Amino acid sequence: MNGFKKFLTQGNVIDLAVAVVIGAAFNAIVQSFVADLLTPLISAFGGLPDFSSLKVTIGQSNFMYGNFINAIVSFLMVAAVIYFLVVKPYTHYRDRAAAKIEAKTRDCPECLSEIPKPASRCAFCSAEVAPAI
């Protein structure tokens, strides 16, 4: 029982639980954005975007392929919203932040060890190197 308690109180399990809760809340926001804003916008330009009434009847069986088309369209819209409102801005932010971080070290030309940029001698092989600015 002690091992189970340790497992539950590890940071990874708690982080995962928080991520699931935040993901569920974010999913509700994205679903609302798609259903309440994007779908009516598409409906205004292309007619009613509801395919749920489409079906094929073979014998006594009804194949409701319209619901499947609705699910695909909804998934694509949710994926697009997540990409353009979350992934793309975050990637842009991360790239800008990484560009601001300037490297403080360089490789020694003799032994390829990592040395500080302003160093004039390698601490590992004692080779003289020109200081980089």
pLDDT reading at 28 higher than 80: yes
| % of the chain exceeding 70 in pLDDT | 94
pLDDT band at residue 23 using 50, 70 and 90 as cut-offs? confident
pLDDT band at residue 88 using 50, 70 and 90 as cut-offs? very high
What tens digit of pLDDT does each residue of 6-18 get? 777 776 777 788 8
Choose among 85, 52, 45, 86: nearest CA to 67.
52
pTM for this structure? Answer: 0.53
pLDDT reading at 62 higher than 80: yes
How large is the average pLDDT for residues 27-44? 78
Fold of 2-101: 1.10.1200
- pLDDT at residue 53, as a whole number: 76
Helix boundaries (H) for the chain: 2-9, 11-33, 39-46, 65-82, 88-100
- pLDDT at residue 89, as a whole number: 92
The HSE-up count of residue 7 (CA atoms within 13 Å, CB side) is: 4
- pLDDT at residue 92, as a whole number: 92
Domain range summary for the chain, segments of one domain joined by +? 2-101, 103-133
